[in-house]
C-alpha cells in the first residue's frame, strides 16, 4: 500500500534533503529521474543507495520511502534496478509505465506505476493488475506533451477534457485492481488555491493520495484529504445508528445500506479514527 495522502518528491542527488522531506510528508519519493540531470545520474544513484542502507539507523520508516527509477528503455534504468536489489522491500516508482511486463520485471519490489503517456493511460487496467503493482499514478505534464496538447487547464483552472478523462481512467483502473490511486503533481508551486481545489476534487472522487513537488504543498494536500468535522460526526452517527439493525434502514430521512456504512468507516479511517 502506498502511503498518503501527501507524497513528496526529493531529488536523489540531494541527500541533505532526504530526512527533511521524509519528516515533512507521509512518504518521500527519492527521485532518480526528472529531478536529476543526466550527468548526475550515477552520483544520485549512489546517494540513494547510501540513504537506503542507513534507514535502519535513521529516524525514517522504510515503508514510507519510494524510489523513482528512470524509465524502462533509458540508459540508466538497468543500473537503477540493479542498485536497488539489496533493498527488495523498498517501493519503486516506475515512470512512463506503458506495459505490465515492465512492472512485473521490478519484482520483488512493490511498484507504484506512473502512467504519463497516452499508451500508459489506455493500458492502465493491465498495468494495475500486475502482481507487483501496489499503486497507480498519472502524470499530467508528460501526458499533455505526449498528446501534443498546448494547455491542460481551462480558464477556470479545471482540467480540460483530455486530461480529466485520464484522471478518471487511472482512478477506475486502480480501484478495479485494488491498488492505491495517486493524483498527479501541480507544478505551479505558488498557486496553493489551485492545489487545494485539485486536492479536494481528487479526494472527493476517490483518490487516496496526491504527489507534491515542494514541502509547502504538503499541508494543503493533507487538509484537502482530511474529512471535515461535520463529515466525521455524520459517520459516527450513522455507524452508531446501525448497531443492532441488520440490513437496510432509514436514518434521518436517508436510506442506509452496506455501501453507506462502508463509506462512513472509510471517513473515520481517513480522519484517524
List, as residue ranges, the binding site for substrate.
Answer: 68, 116
Are the beta carbons of 94 and 111 closer than 8 angstroms?
Answer: yes
Annotated binding site: 68, 116, 142
Continuous H helices in 115-228:
118-122, 124-128, 140-147, 161-177, 192-205, 218-225
Cell numbers at 125, concatenated:
487496467
Q: State how far the Cα of 235 lies from the Cα of 249, in Å rounded to an integer.
A: 15
The reply to whether omega before 5 is within 30° of 0 (cis) is yes
Residue 196, all three cell numbers: 487545494
CA distance 36 to 164: 29
Quote the crossing angle between the two packed helices 192-205 and 161-177, to the nearest 10°.
40
* Binding-site residue positions for Mg(2+): 116, 142
Q: 38: which 3 cell numbers?
A: 543526466
Please state, as a whole number, how many other Cβ atoms lie within 10 Å of the Cβ of residue 211. 26
Q: What contacts 258, CB < 8 A, 6 or more positions away?
A: none
Amino acid at each position: 500500500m502506498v502511503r498518503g495522502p501527501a507524497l513528496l518528491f526529493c531529488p536523489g542527488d540531494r541527500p541533505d534533503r532526504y530526512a527533511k522531506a521524509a519528516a515533512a510528508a507521509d512518504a518521500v519519493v527519492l527521485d532518480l529521474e526528472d529531478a536529476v540531470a543526466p550527468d548526475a545520474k550515477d552520483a544520485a544513484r549512489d546517494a540513494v543507495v547510501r540513504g537506503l542502507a542507513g534507514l535502519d539507523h535513521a529516524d525514517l520508516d522504510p515503508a514510507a520511502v519510494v524510489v523513482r527509477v528512470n524509465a524502462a528503455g533509458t540508459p540508466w534504468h538497468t543500473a537503477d534496478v540493479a542498485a536497488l536489489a539489496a533493498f527488495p522491500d523498498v517501493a519503486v516508482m516506475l515512470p512512463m509505465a506503458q506495459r505490465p511486463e515492465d512492472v512485473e520485471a521490478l519484482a520483488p519490489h512493490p511498484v507504484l506505476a506512473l502512467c504519463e503517456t497516452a499508451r500508459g493511460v489506455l493500458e492502465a487496467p493491465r498495468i494495475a493488475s500486475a502482481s507487483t503493482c501496489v499503486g497507480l499514478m498519472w502524470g499530467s505534464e508528460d501526458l499533455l506533451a505526449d498528446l501534443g496538447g498546448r494547455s491542460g487547464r481551462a480558464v477556470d483552472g479545471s482540467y480540460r477534457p483530455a486530461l480529466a478523462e485520464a484522471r478518471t481512467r487511472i482512478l477506475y483502473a486502480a480501484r478495479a485492481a485494488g491498488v492505491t490511486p495517486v493524483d498527479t503533481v501541480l507544478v505551479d508551486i505558488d498557486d496553493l488555491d489551485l492545489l487545494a481545489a485539485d486536492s479536494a476534487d481528487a479526494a472527493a472522487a476517490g483518490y487516496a493520495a496526491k504527489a507534491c513537488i515542494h514541502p509547502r504543498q504538503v499541508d494543503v494536500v493533507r487538509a484537502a484529504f482530511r474529512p471535515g468535522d461535520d463529515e466525521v460526526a455524520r459517520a459516527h452517527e450513522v455507524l452508531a445508528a446501525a448497531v443492532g439493525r441488520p440490513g437496510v434502514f432509514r436514518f434521518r430521512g436517508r436510506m442506509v445500506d452496506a455501501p453507506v456504512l462502508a463509506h462512513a468507516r472509510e471517513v473515520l479511517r481517513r480522519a484517524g479514527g
